[in-house]
Amino acid sequence: MTLDVAWAIGWVRLSAQTVTEHRQELIELDRQIGDGDHGENLFRGFSAVIAKLDALPAEPADIGEVLKLVATTLMSTVGGAAGPLYGTAYLRAAKATGVAQLDSQGVVALLEAALEGIVARGKATTGEKTMVDAWTPATEAAVAAADGGASPAEVLVAAADAARVGAEATIPLVATKGRASYLGERSAGHLDPGARSTELILRAAAQAAA
């Protein structure tokens, strides 16, 4: 089994759908430790992505082309930290997936490239209460699943499941990066909104593969 351009398009559409459904939740999470715009920014960004996708004259030639469209649109329409971070993640992923189909190792390459982009852009590491705390275990779980012979869809499920655990693990952490770091010890006890949106977007990838 492999994942194709139709999967990539499905992932984008499901991402937009889940961001819309969880818009208020992400706003509230960000209001607790940030400036409250994470849900609104992602909603605006993915709405713009869908509009551009719908306006394409023809289906993209490969998966990387789909992800590049997401990257450039998010970078140009999303404010705050989310635009540059997710934009860089999708852009790096696009460069790693300039093919018509992805096998399990191809999915791993996509996730690893996205994580590298986020780390490079945000200068963050695990334990700092950021989306890296969800992306890192997700990528590690994907590697383990792929090495164990899992299908691309199973690799994505493993990644999404690990992202959920990673996101929940941000609750007791004290933020040392981003706007939440201004709160110091008061940032503990709250789920990081970027880690939560990471979980949602990776779950959308798994659902699209299923």
For the chain, the average pLDDT equals 94
* Cβ proximity of 9 and 53 under 8 Å: yes
Confidence of residue 81 (pLDDT cuts 50, 70, 90): confident
Stronger pLDDT, 25 or 176, i.e. the higher one: 25
How many CB atoms are located within 10 Å of the residue 11 CB?
Answer: 24
For residue range 101-111, list pLDDT tens digits in order. 999 999 999 99
- The answer to which of 29-38, 110-119, 173-182 has the lowest mean pLDDT is 173-182
State the pLDDT confidence band at 174, using cuts at 50, 70 and 90.
confident
State CA 96 to chain mean position distance.
15
The mean pLDDT value for 154-181 works out to: 91
| 206, 159 contact by CB (below 8 A) | yes
Q: Please check the confidence at residue 156 and state whether its pLDDT lies above 70.
A: yes
Residue-wise burial string across 80-116, b where 16 or more C-beta atoms lie within 10 A, e elsewhere = bbbbbbbbbbbbbbbebbebeebbbebbbbbbbbbbb
pLDDT over 80 at 66, yes or no: yes
Instruction: For the chain, list the domains and their CATH numbers.
Output: 3-209 (1.25.40.340)
Whether 186 has a pLDDT exceeding 90, the answer reads no
| Arithmetic mean of pLDDT, 37-49 | 96
pLDDT at position 38, please? 94
Where are the alpha helices (H) located in 78-151, listed in sequence order?
Answer: 82-96, 104-122, 132-147
Q: Which of 35-39, 44-48, 141-145, 194-198 has the lowest mean pLDDT?
A: 35-39
* Residue 182 in this model has a pLDDT that exceeds 70: no
Q: Mean pLDDT lowest for which of 22-31, 144-153, 168-177?
A: 168-177
Over residues 179-208, the mean pLDDT reads 89
Residue 131 phi, psi (nearest 5): -65, -20
